[in-house]
Amino acid sequence: MSDKLNVLLLGSGGREAAIAWKLNQSPLLGKLFIAPGNAGTSACGTNLPIKPTDFEAVAKAVKDNAVDLVIAGNEDPLVGGLREALAVSCPGVPMVGPGADGAALEGSKDFAKDFMGRHGIPTARHLTATKENIEEARDFLRSLEAPYVLKADGLAAGKGVLIINDLDEAISSLDEMLAGQFGAASAKVVIEEFLSGIECSVFVLTDGTGAYRILPVAKDYKRVGEGDTGLNTGGMGSVSPVPFADKTFMDKVEKRIVKPTVNGLIAEGIDYRGFIFLGLINVKGEPMVIEYNVRMGDPETEVVMPRIASDLLPALMAVANGKLSDIAIEQDPRTAVAVMAVSGGYPGSYAKGKVINGLDTVEGIVFHAGTAKDDEGRTVTSGGRVLATVAFGDNIAEAAAASYAMLDGISFDGKYNRRDIGKDLM
């Protein structure tokens, strides 16, 4: 057996491109496989044409390639029980990503809210509505002030949250959701008090023993339009660090949210080994949880990975093996800004297959997201979010200017990007 580690990373977005880039710098890395990956990840390892939710194919890839570590990039396979499946088909192979019990923190907003309630973690007041308690749910809505927040309980591809200004409209939207607007995902609907403040994303690694490490904090930009207007997207850019997430704020986050979350998982018998993504909102200096995710954020990962100064591979191996207390994670003090270029029309309908120019001449970090190779070997667009340029600076203005200079050198038919990433924090 070699002392180098073969790694299988599951996913295909900019997040996985950033994780692959980081792992590829590790002197401990043997072979890196990305399943399915994109046109950019093939520069860091071998892409395998496998769906992360096809557990048999994942298990076969683990065995065929003598994989020493499996890393789940996205939530779907985790919520569906990937850890449990691999424990049977590939026993003893370490994995980063919780079992279905822990993944319920993202897979069920009702579970997540109850978990926070059980462990005294600050979050918006809520009530979970079903067809059975609809009258109580309407009364709860009437007791709140506008705007009204309605969330499908289950996974809804990022579309399951509605924020509605009018009470009557909120009541009828609740009915539509319960009637199946998001399929089974909205058979339960979490109604929440609206919280006002600036959001940020805090990422935690934990190993099932109570040890945890907090990774660089980031902020993403979800709306398609400048000044945070227009439709919600998967994310148009990101910044790390976040100026308001200073020591005072982060001390509160650690004490009130990170520790009770990690300890709460242990108290409930959940062996959670993986990333915890805390979607937080700063309400007048007090951090509150908007949501948990059981993976890294996208496009936050595109700025978090470059800001991790330590080797990530031993840290992830330690997460999987319950040895995180042996590991220190250093952060690069510089600021990183990622700007995402998207296909015109996104998040609505958009064209695919557009040739991307300028990739050979651009200098710096480019993370591919929705890209593929065409029959002639050219890199073409294959998704809404196409790629992100990432640059460092001594402050947000410098890093953003450098990231925009890179992105301006890349072109494809219909390319669009916001020009104000980070501006609200300057």
For ligand AMP, the closer of residues 182 and 272 by Cβ is 182
195 touches ligand AMP (CB under 6 A): yes
Could you tell which of ligand AMP, ligand GLY, none binds residue 194, using a CB distance below 5 to 8 A set by kind?
A: ligand AMP
Question: Cα 291 to the chain's mean position, in Å?
Answer: 11
Could you tell which of ligand GLY, ligand AMP, none binds residue 199, using a CB distance below 5 to 8 A set by kind?
A: ligand AMP
Do 410 and 389 contact (CB within 8 A), yes or no? yes
Look at residues 285, 268, 265 and name the one whose alpha carbon lies nearest to residue 276.
Answer: 265
58 touches ligand AMP (CB under 6 A): no
Residue 291 beta carbon to ligand AMP: minimum distance, rounded to whole angstroms: 4
Do 21 and 364 contact (CB within 8 A), yes or no? no
Could you tell which of ligand GLY, ligand AMP, none binds residue 235, using a CB distance below 5 to 8 A set by kind?
A: ligand GLY
Selected from 220, 273, 339, 391, the binder of ligand GLY by CB under 6 A is 220
Residue 125 beta carbon to ligand AMP: minimum distance, rounded to whole angstroms: 9
Strand partners, 165: none
106 touches ligand AMP (CB under 6 A): no
Residue 414 beta carbon to ligand GLY: minimum distance, rounded to whole angstroms: 23
For ligand GLY, the closer of residues 208 and 347 by Cβ is 347
- By CB neighbour count within 10 A (0-12 exposed, 13-18 middle, 19+ buried), where does 386 fall? buried
d(C-alpha 282, C-alpha 291), whole Å? 13
* Cα-based angle 325, 328, 331 (whole degrees, multiple of 5): 145
d(C-alpha 102, C-alpha 286), whole Å? 26
Residues in the chain: 426
Contact window for ligand AMP (CB under 6 A) among 23-31, 190-198, 202-210, 247-255: 190-198
How many chain residues are in contact with ligand GLY, going by CB under 6 A? 6
Interface mask toward ligand GLY for 273-312; x: CB under 6 A: --------------------x---xx-x------------
Name the helix (H) or strand (E) containing 138. Answer: helix 134-143
* Beta pairing, strands 69-72 & 148-152: unpaired
Question: Cα 21 to the chain's mean position, in Å?
Answer: 17
Selected from 102, 235, 237, 306, the binder of ligand GLY by CB under 6 A is 235
Residue 133 beta carbon to ligand AMP: minimum distance, rounded to whole angstroms: 20
47 touches ligand GLY (CB under 6 A): no
Interface mask toward ligand AMP for 132-151; x: CB under 6 A: -----------------x-x
Question: What are the structure tokens assigned to 37, written together?
Answer: 């990956």
For ligand AMP, the closer of residues 199 and 271 by Cβ is 199
Strand partners, 371: 381
Residue 295 beta carbon to ligand GLY: minimum distance, rounded to whole angstroms: 8
Residue in the block written with tokens 């220190």: 328
DSSP state of 365: E
106 touches ligand GLY (CB under 6 A): no
422 touches ligand GLY (CB under 6 A): no
d(C-alpha 312, C-alpha 308), whole Å? 8
153 touches ligand GLY (CB under 6 A): no
Selected from 124, 170, 200, 359, the binder of ligand AMP by CB under 6 A is 124
302 touches ligand AMP (CB under 6 A): no
For ligand AMP, the closer of residues 225 and 333 by Cβ is 225
Residue 313 beta carbon to ligand GLY: minimum distance, rounded to whole angstroms: 22
* Cα-based angle 168, 172, 176 (whole degrees, multiple of 5): 165
Question: Cα 23 to the chain's mean position, in Å?
Answer: 17
Selected from 279, 364, 409, 414, the binder of ligand AMP by CB under 6 A is 279
Q: Which residue is nearest to ligand AMP (CB)?
A: 291
Could you tell which of ligand GLY, ligand AMP, none binds residue 290, using a CB distance below 5 to 8 A set by kind?
A: ligand AMP
Question: Cα 328 to the chain's mean position, in Å?
Answer: 22
Question: Exposed e or buried b for every residue in 17-55, given b needs 16+ CB within 10 A?
Answer: bbbbbbbeebeebbbbbbbbbbbbbbebbebbebebbeb
d(C-alpha 167, C-alpha 253), whole Å? 33
194 touches ligand AMP (CB under 6 A): yes
166 φ/ψ angles, rounded to the nearest 5 degrees: -105, 135
Name the helix (H) or strand (E) containing 76. Answer: helix 75-79
Do 197 and 175 contact (CB within 8 A), yes or no? no
For ligand GLY, the closer of residues 295 and 354 by Cβ is 295
Residues in contact with ligand AMP by CB under 6 A are 124, 149, 151, 161, 192, 194-195, 199, 279, 290-291
Residues in contact with ligand GLY by CB under 6 A are 220, 235, 293, 297-298, 300
